[in-house]
Amino acid sequence: MHAVRMSGITKNFATVRALDNVDFKAEKACVHALLGENGAGKTTLMNILYGLYSADSGEVYINEKKTIIKNPAASIANGIGMVHQHFMLVGKLTVAQNVILGAEKTTLGFFNSKKIRNEILEISEKFGLRVEPDKKIENISVGMQQRVEILKVLYRGADILIFDEPTAVLTPQEISELTAIIKNLADSGKTVILITHKLKEIKQAAQKCTVIRRGFNIGTVDVCDVSEKQLASMMVGREVVFDFLHEKKNEPGDVILKIENLTVEDNRGVKKLNGFNLELRKGEIFGIAGVDGNGQKELVEAITSLRKIKSGSIKINGNEIANTSPANVIKNKINTIPEDRQQLGLVLDFSVEDNAILGKQNEFSNKGILQFEKITKHATDLIEKFDIRPSGCEKTKMKSLSGGNQQKFIIAREITNNPDVLIAVQPTRGVDIGAIEFIHRTLLAEREKAILLISLDLDEILSLSDTIGVIYEGKIVKTMKNENIDEEKLGLLMAGGNA
Amino acid sequence: MRKFFINFLRMPVTGSLFAIFAAVIVGAIILLAAGHNPIRAYAGLFYGAVGQPRFAVQTIIASTSLILTGLSVTFAYKTGLFNIGVEGQFIIGTVAAVFLGHFLKLPPIVHPAAVMTGAMLAAGAFGAIVGFLKAKFNIHEVLSSIMLNWVAINLANLYISTERFYQEVGKAHGIQNSASIIFLHEMKRTPEGIAQIRELGFLSEILLRTDVNFGIFIAIAAVFFAKFFLDKTSAGYALKAVGANKDAAEFAGINIKKYMVLSMFFSGAIAGLAAAVHITGVSPNTVTLLPAFQNYGFNGIPVALLANASVIPNIFAALLFGGMNYGAGYIQSNHGIATEIIEIMIGLIVFFVALRAVCVKIANIIERKKYGSSN
């Protein structure tokens, strides 16, 4: 029996066809993965199922009964729940309060806290979702926050659970815990739909996998019958090569960037970096592995002089750059690919060519007058050399480029500055697999400079870095060569354990 | 055809036209309620604004300072700042213009140029205070400018109340004739000159009954210069980048604090130019005691809003408002319609400007219908 059957779903956004006559079936009590690149339409399909969008045509059957889902409330009533990528929790409230939020059961307007607590514990035991109901959300780990999100959905009586990229913020240990939970849910009769573009997870957790590409259903396969490589080429529509990494080993040279005893506080005065040390050598990619929130953000802000440091030093080629200005940092030949490309990297309302000279407007002017031919030519160079699409987009507004092309553009611009040190923060976050491949190749090609790679994606760190430093609570707890690394051990270090 | 209509709806100017049209409709309802024939009222308003050469000239004179104050607000807006302090900068500009216009002894042409430069520097510096407070202490420009507007009005009154600066209590010394930018200013002051002007036929009517002056050319030149500065120079580029995304601008190494101060300096300087043109071009060519704001600066805000923060359209928006203001006097005296109705219409235009996004929404709905989808 199919818990979910969607047939002939078509959805247009203005002139863009996001989904084209897509059929999708998920069996009851089964983990069904939905694989596709960013913008392929997988999230749109699930948003239709969850009632956030309505389809232009097509039908939805829940438990083989034709159902019209107009809004999320209707979908919850039909036993469908969604665990969002970004948690929707209230930090100041307890776990139990968050679980019941919006579905409060009251008697004459009063809570029965004890009863609610027991109900929550009952569900959490049944599915192996270990939580502490009385703790505040802001005091529990990310992994537990996610379990609270799952509990929320189960508390509302969901039989069909949609997980939207659930592992983006988790450590390897937390990922394996989540995988166990997902399997457990399916064993207890729940249907799980897993939206992801991580092939490894599909292999680990799912039985079936449907691949969506450019709004079309490419096919549904039994996961045990296919390899990761086959899944990848189904998703992209061509062979994807990921074995190009570390073709040639570099011998790192002198120290270029030296950070000593760095202490940095966040806006609330909490020490986010505390005695942080790092040496980046010429010719290496130094990858900083760690769970989000261990000081990565403050480290980047300190190096780029967006944030004042409390003590310590940041030196490039012997020059102190801490507490100066972003302009001075750039002058000292440090360029940065920021994590938040739309906020820090681009002016979305400017054209592509105007973005190409951001901060360099004086180099592209003569006696204060902008040299438009030179500017356009510069943009054309970047577009051609870095395969930014659509080609010929010099005069296009930056906001109409796709995320992957925006990211390629930033990387193109920063590399073309020819820096001594390139800081790449989450360089492939939210971009599709084709762009990831391109970005990784580009970064490797620039390795003879010195690259500080900060990423939450452990696979990215492992496949690019020459040296890996694990950051935990504002310190590098261990630095190691990227040779024969035990991922288990790395995960433990990231979670603050000893290894 | 439909495609054309959709594109038309999406054009920025459509939103402004929609605002004017909607204000006309609502204004008509108010006129009807007040017992007036709206068609006759609007015809009268139009005639009063441009129906005779003399009226058209008065409309232009009324629009001149509006063009510049509108430009002042637009310029700051391009850097992401809301210059509500344009009123105070205008007042400072008038005081500087009157002071220089009276006490400097310079030949014609040079004198008004010096007056304008001085007023621009004074008002620019006054505006720069706002930029400095924002850059240095992160004080919101709206708060500091509102306070500084009061500082400005009181400084002006202090000037007018100081014996060495006033001609009589409550009125400062007027500017020298050499500082005037009114056409044939000298001739208009002697009986022989007036007799000569009378021989010019229909032009004499304009020359003798209005303060027709060079100001409009200065205002239009300033608009085109600002357009050139913002679009073609590296400093203008940096200003716009700070306005469009100051975080990205700072991250790319642009000194955003410098440009905040600079932008407010320029914006204030444009307000100062408006003031200097007003003082040197319109009688009584001086300042008098101000019991309250006269709104010369504030009136630039609706102009900038209607111009949709674009530079050139300030000219047309200012002409519209200038014409409405001047034409209002005509319908008041000839049709007995209170000028307040025109004030209400200007308010309505600003109100509907805020709703201009409706046009884009309508375009989206039509487009969706065409492609048979629903979102």
- Degrees to nearest 5, angle at CA A268 with A263 and A269: 35
Mean pLDDT of chain A: 88
Residues B247 and B145 in one domain: yes
Q: Is there a contact between A327 and B255 if contact means CB atoms under 8 Å apart?
A: yes
Name the 3-class secondary structure at A263.
strand
Predicted confidence band of residue A25 (pLDDT cuts 50, 70, 90): very high
Q: B164 Cβ partners below 8 Å, 6+ apart?
A: none
Of the candidates B234, B245, B253, the beta carbon closest to that of A330 is on B253
CA distance B230 to chain A (A): 10
pLDDT in tens, B171-184: 888 898 888 888 88
The rounded distance, in Å, linking the Cα atoms of A159 and A309 is 50
Contacts of A354 in chain B (CB under 8 A): 237, 241
Residue of A nearest to B233 (CA): A369
- What is the distance between the terminal CA atoms of chain A, rounded to a whole angstrom? 47
pLDDT, residue A308, reads 94
Q: Which of B299, B322, B345 delimits the end of a domain?
A: B322
Does the CB of B364 have a partner CB in chain A at under 8 Å?
A: yes
From chain B, the residues in CB contact with A365 under 8 A are: 233-234
**B103 and B143 share one domain:** yes
DSSP-assigned states of every residue in B110-164: HHHHHHHHHHHHHHHHHHHHHHHHHHHH---HHHHHHHHHHHHHHHHHHHHTSTT
Q: What is the pLDDT of residue A245?
A: 54
Mutation target to probe the A interface, by most A beta carbons within 10 A, among B360, B371, B373 is B373
Chain B: residue whose CA lies nearest to A17: B373
What is the average pLDDT across B361-366? 80
What CA–CA distances, in Å, run from A404 to A196, A437, B272? Answer: 17, 11, 47
Total residues belonging to chain A: 499
Per-residue pLDDT band for A269 (boundaries 50, 70, 90) equals confident
- Full DSSP string of A450-493: -EEEEES-HHHHHHH-SEEEEEETTEEEEEEESSS--HHHHHHH
**Are residues B85 and B219 located together in one domain of the fold?**
yes
What was the pLDDT predicted at A499? 59
Residue B345, pLDDT > 60, answer: yes
Residue B373 has pLDDT above 50, yes or no: no
Instruction: Please state, in angstroms and as integers, the Cα–Cα distance from residue A15 to each residue in A166, A215, A269, following that order.
Output: 31, 13, 49
Q: How far apart are CA B53 and CA B51, in angstroms?
A: 7
The tokens describing A442, both together, are 């580009």
Task: Indicate the residue of B232, B241, B247 with minimum beta-carbon distance to A343.
Answer: B247
pLDDT at B374: 38
Q: Is the pLDDT confidence value at B293 over 80?
A: yes
- Cα distance between residue A23 and residue B374, in whole Å: 20
Structure tokens at A361: 């407007």
- When mean pLDDT is compared over A66-80, A142-156, B118-132, the highest value belongs to B118-132
Give the DSSP H or E segment for A257.
strand A255-265
Same structural domain for residues B23 and B90? no
8 Å CB contact of B234 and A349:
no
Residues from chain B contacting residue A12 (CB–CB below 8 Å)? 371, 373
- Cα distance between residue B295 and residue B312, in whole Å: 22
Structure tokens at B147: 């306070």
pLDDT, one tens digit per residue, over A437-488 is 889 988 998 888 999 999 988 888 988 999 999 999 899 999 998 888 877 7
Q: DSSP string spanning A37-50?
A: -TTSSHHHHHHHHT
Mutation target to probe the B interface, by most B beta carbons within 10 A, among A347, A354, A362, A409 is A347
CB-CB under 8 Å, A11 with B373: yes
Residue A251: pLDDT over 60: yes
| Whole-number Å distance between alpha carbons of B276 and A223 | 78
**pLDDT confidence tier of residue A241, bands split at 50, 70 and 90:** low
Give pLDDT tens digits for A285-304. 999 998 878 899 999 999 99
* Of the residues B279, B294, B322, the one at which a domain ends: B322
Q: A192 falls in which pLDDT band (50, 70, 90)?
A: very high
Q: What is the pLDDT of residue A414?
A: 94
Pairwise CB contact (< 8 Å): A330 & B364: no
- Whether the pLDDT of residue A139 is over 80: the answer is yes
CA–CA dist A2, A65 (Å, integer): 10
The answer to whether B2 faces chain A, any CB pair under 8 Å, is no
CB contact, 8 Å: B138 with chain A? no
Reported as a pLDDT band with limits 50, 70 and 90, residue A38 is low
CB pair distance less than 8 Å for B249 and A15: no
Q: Which residues of A touch B254 (CB under 8 A)?
A: 327, 358-359, 361
Identify whether residues B346 and B311 lie together within a single domain.
no
B62 part of a folded domain: yes
CA of B125 vs chain A CAs: smallest distance (Å) = 23
Q: What percent of chain B has pLDDT over 70?
A: 98
For residue A161, is pLDDT > 80?
Answer: yes
- A364 contacts chain B (CB < 8 A): yes
Report the gap between the CA of A343 and the closest CA in chain B (Å): 6
Q: Does A406 touch chain B (CB under 8 A)?
A: no
- B230–A contact, CB cutoff 8 A: no
Residues B360 and B284 in one domain: no
Tell me if B123 sits within 8 A of B264, measured CB to CB: no
Nearest to B40 by CA among B345, B331, B325: B331
Residue B308, sorted as left (phi over 0), alpha (psi -120 to 50) or beta, turns out to be left
Closest among A454, A459, A452, A450 to A485, alpha carbons compared? A459
Q: Give per-residue pLDDT as tens, B104-143.
A: 999 989 999 999 999 999 999 999 999 999 999 999 999 9
Query: How many interface pairs between A and B have CB atoms less than 8 angstroms apart?
Result: 89
Q: Is residue B328 part of a domain?
A: no
Q: Quick check: A422 pLDDT over 60?
A: yes
pLDDT at B372: 44
Interface contact flag, A14 B371, Cβ < 8 Å: yes
Least confident range of A249-258, B148-157, B224-233, B361-370: B361-370
Residue numbers in B near A13 (CB within 8 A): 373, 375
Residue A257 has pLDDT above 50, yes or no: yes
Q: Are residues B142 and B218 in the same domain?
A: yes
Q: In what order do the strands lie in the sheet with A271-281?
A: A271-281, A255-265, A311-316, A319-320
Using CA atoms, how far apart are residues B240 and B229, in angstroms rounded to an integer?
11
B318 and B341 both lie in a single domain: no
Nearest to A441 by CA among A413, A463, A416: A463
Containing structural domain, residue B212? 53-322
Residue B113 shares a structural domain with residue B230: yes
* B76-98 mean pLDDT: 95
In-domain check, residue B236: yes
Between A44-48, A349-353, A389-393, A406-410, the lowest mean confidence (pLDDT) is in: A389-393
Per-residue model confidence (pLDDT) at position A171:
74
Q: Would you call B245 and A326 a contact, using CB atoms and an 8 Å cutoff?
A: no
Distance from CA of B255 to the nearest CA of A (A): 7
User: Which residues of chain A are within 8 Å of residue B249 when distances are taken between CB atoms?
Assistant: 347, 358-359
Asked if B344 has any chain A CB less than 8 Å from its own CB, the reply is no
Structure confidence at residue B254 as a pLDDT band (50, 70, 90):
very high
Using alpha carbons, list the distances in angstroms from residue A274 to A264, A265, A304: 7, 9, 18
Any chain A CB within 8 A of the CB of B255?
yes
Is residue B329 in some structural domain? no
Stretch B302-330: mean pLDDT, rounded? Answer: 94
- Out of A359, A368, A370, the one facing B252 most closely (by C-beta) is A359
Does residue A58 contact residue A9 with C-beta atoms inside 8 Å? yes
**Of A329, A358, A362, Cβ closest to residue B241:** A358
Which residue out of B251, B257, B365 would a mutagenesis test of the A interface target, given it has the greatest number of A Cβ atoms within 10 Å?
Answer: B251
Mutation site, B2, B79, B245, B310, interface A, largest A CB count within 10 A: B245
Report how far apart, in Å, the C-alpha atoms of B13 and of each of A337, A351, B237 are. 38, 21, 24
Specify the amino acid at residue B69: T
Q: Please answer yes or no on whether B234 and A364 come within 8 Å at the CB atom.
A: yes
Q: Does residue B45 belong to any structural domain of this protein?
A: no
| Domain-embedded: residue B43 | no
**B16 and B94 housed in the same domain:** no
The answer to whether A330 contacts chain B (CB < 8 Å) is yes
B198-231 residue pLDDT tens: 888 778 888 888 888 999 999 999 999 999 999 9
**Greater model confidence, B117 or B4:** B117
- Nearest-Cα residue of chain A relative to residue B368: A14
Report how far apart, in Å, the C-alpha atoms of A35 and of each of A6, A136, B31 are: 16, 34, 63
pLDDT of residue B310: 92
Query: Closest to B235 (Cβ–Cβ): which among A327, A349, A368?
Result: A368
Query: Inter-chain contact B368–A14, Cβ cutoff 8 Å?
Result: yes
Please check the confidence at residue A435 and state whether its pLDDT lies above 50.
Answer: yes
- Examine the domain organization and report whether B137 and B253 are in the same domain: yes
B7 and B141 belong to one structural domain? no
Rounded CA Rg of chain A: 24
pLDDT at residue B42, as a whole number? 94
Question: Closest chain A residue to B369 measured between Cα atoms?
Answer: A14
Domain boundary among B322, B348, B366: B322
In a domain? residue B46: no
- The yes-or-no verdict on residue A243 having pLDDT over 60 is no
Taking the C-alpha atoms of residue B83 and residue B73, their distance in angstroms, rounded to an integer, is 6
- Choose among B232, B247, B251: nearest Cβ to A370: B232
pLDDT exceeds 90 at position A87: no
Between the CA of residue A277 and those of A212, A318, B147, what are the distances in Å? 45, 15, 48
Question: Looking at the 3D structure of chain B, how many domains does it have?
Answer: 2
Question: Cβ separation of B237 and A361 shorter than 8 Å?
Answer: yes
- Residue A16 burial (C-beta neighbours within 10 Å; 0-12, 13-18, 19+): exposed
Question: Would you place residue A237 in the very low, low, confident or very high pLDDT band (cuts 50, 70, 90)?
Answer: confident
β-bridge mates for residue A365, sequence order: A370
- Tell whether the model's pLDDT for residue B61 goes beyond 90: yes
